[in-house]
Amino acid sequence: MGLPHSSHDRGAQFLRKPHPGIAGVSLATIRAPAYFPKTMSSTLLTTHSQAERPPIILPLIVACALFMENLDSTIIATALPAMARSLGESPLTMSAAMTSYLLSLVVFIPASGWLADRFGGRDVFVSAIAVFTISSLLCGVAQNLPEMIAARVLQGMGGAMMTPVGRLVLLRAVSKSQLVQAMSYVTIPALVGPAIGPLIGGFIATYSTWRWIFYVNLPIGLLGIALALRFIPNVRMPDPGRADIRGLVLTGLGLGFLALTFDNIGRGALPGWLVAIAAAIGLFFLALFLRHARQAERPAIDLTLLRLPTYRASILGGNCFRMAIGGTPFLLPLMFQLGFGLTPLQSGSLTFASAVGAMGMKAIAPPIVRRFGFRQLLVGNAALCTLSLASYGLFRPSWPYALIIGALLLGGLIRSLQFTCINAIGYADVPPARMSRATSLSSAAQQLTLSIGVTIAATLLALVKPSHATASLAPADFLPVFLAMSVFCLASIFFFAALPHGAGAEVSRACHRAPAPEAD
């Protein structure tokens, strides 16, 4: 059922007409997918039949916005020394520019789902891009550290809305059978951003001013706003209910203090006792939220979603996998620069191979998923990812660069496939009315576990080599760290193996007959 005439947006009117040439894929008529409730307040983008490929323009719009965010979160690390010199601060103090962004991101993510339901996914998504773009400009013109921190907090607010709402826009615009193809595009930013961030950051810091690290977001943001307004329908829920203000405050404080804890463990920026207090405060507020969530009709974070086997496997198994992978963008540049003696630009050129692998997987992921199904693929590919991650610890300066690049390329391929499967199956059985809460919970968990991954990697490296001796790190020092991180990857298999046979068959379109119970 469509909106009243006054509520139709230009994007929906444009897409009703067959369009022959957007990225080589025609756009179909606007109609609601069969799995959507008839009370939805806007018509949705889909295809004429299940056999057609999903419109490529929507995943690309969302992917570009997410790429801008993921790139920004990693690119700044390379330029911190240059930023510190320019603003008259020490590099250690400048780390507040990274921490403030992370805290703002985690605090505001839980509110994104309700805002999208209340005001429409497209409008919130466009507003998020606008906030992120404007704050990028403010970061670029900042003249001191307080101005930079304020701009980064604002940027984190925009980023907190872009990731979950962008994914929500996509989930509501494609049918479930098209989800793997769509997610294969959206997965790329999470892998490509951290891989090429050091490369681009090193290039800009070396040959230009660090301010261009933020200015590059301006044209991307403006283009994203224009495309989103034209091509994305503004879907909103008919009855979003009241915002769970108490729950949002409790989760924001709890997640914020935990993010602060994980960002400072083992770094020495804060005293150990202060980090412990931050952890205790974070756990206290989350405990209060758990008590509140049992009584709230629509809590800010809906933990009952974990009762769905596919969503539970995506959250628990996926976050275990992310903890393992999250430390890789931190460890590889250190290995190549301190262990191999390479420059930041040379190091970034090597790690770029994993980004190429991630991009290469987008075309072949859907047929692989259809061939093997989610459960078999998640278990088997997690084992391959474990071996790949552990093998990074064997890299030595004497190895031919072609061999290292080949290993990183293969690692990017299989990790991209795993993330595509994790993201797609997570929403296979989520009812449309709860989709916004599912994306909020998933995004908050992802941000925390990626931070935990970096913290674990840094802590393990400090155990191998005390902080005062990090300048003398040898390639062999990274082997036990990569081996330990690969254990988390291996542990994710436990959650994926618990999936029922044929899980997510509507999404994967894999026609596997479930075996008899005794076969298990």
Q: Is the pLDDT of residue 402 over 70?
A: yes
Mean pLDDT value across residues 197-226:
83
Mean pLDDT value across residues 24-34:
34
Q: Is the pLDDT of residue 169 over 50?
A: yes
Q: Is the pLDDT of residue 466 over 80?
A: no
Q: Is the pLDDT of residue 450 over 80?
A: no
The 3-state DSSP class for residue 105 equals: helix
414-443 residue pLDDT tens: 998 999 899 888 888 888 888 888 888 888
Around Cβ 34, how many Cβ atoms within 10 Å? Answer: 9
pTM: 0.73
Q: Is the pLDDT of residue 515 over 60?
A: no
Q: Considering the chain, what is the average pLDDT of its residues?
A: 78
Mean pLDDT value across residues 4-18:
40
Mean pLDDT value across residues 209-224:
88
pLDDT-derived band at 332, boundaries 50, 70, 90? confident
Q: Considering only CA atoms, which of 52, 362, 72 is closest in space to residue 216?
A: 72
Q: Which of 25-39, 98-112, 283-297 has the highest mean pLDDT?
A: 283-297
Q: How far apart are the C-alpha atoms of 81 and 183, rounded to whole Å?
A: 36
Q: Identify which has the larger pLDDT, 2 or 214.
A: 214
pLDDT-derived band at 494, boundaries 50, 70, 90? very high
Q: Which ranges of 242-343 would DSSP assign to H, the alpha helix? A: 245-264, 272-293, 309-312, 318-326, 328-334
* C-alpha radius of gyration, the chain, whole number: 22
pLDDT-derived band at 35, boundaries 50, 70, 90? very low
121-152 residue pLDDT tens: 889 999 999 999 999 999 999 998 889 989 99
Q: What is the pLDDT of residue 261?
A: 85
Q: Considering only CA atoms, which of 230, 107, 123, 218 is closest in space to residue 169?
A: 123
Mean pLDDT value across residues 52-72:
73
The 3-state DSSP class for residue 51 equals: coil
Of the CA atoms within 13 Å of residue 348, those in its CB half-sphere come to 21
Tell me the β-bridge partners of 27.
Answer: 19
Share of the chain above pLDDT 70, in %: 80
Q: What is the pLDDT of residue 470?
A: 52
Lowest-pLDDT range, 27-36, 77-86, 299-308, 383-392?
27-36
Q: At what angle do helices 145-171 and 96-108 cross, to 10 degrees?
A: 40
How would DSSP label each residue in 201-244? Answer: HHHHHHHS-TTHHHHTHHHHHHHHHHHHHHH------S------
Q: At what angle do helices 245-264 and 96-108 cross, to 10 degrees?
A: 150
Q: Is the pLDDT of residue 230 over 90?
A: no
The backbone torsions φ and ψ at residue 25, rounded to the nearest 5 degrees and listed phi first, read -125, 130
pLDDT-derived band at 349, boundaries 50, 70, 90? confident
The 3-state DSSP class for residue 20 equals: strand
pLDDT-derived band at 38, boundaries 50, 70, 90? very low
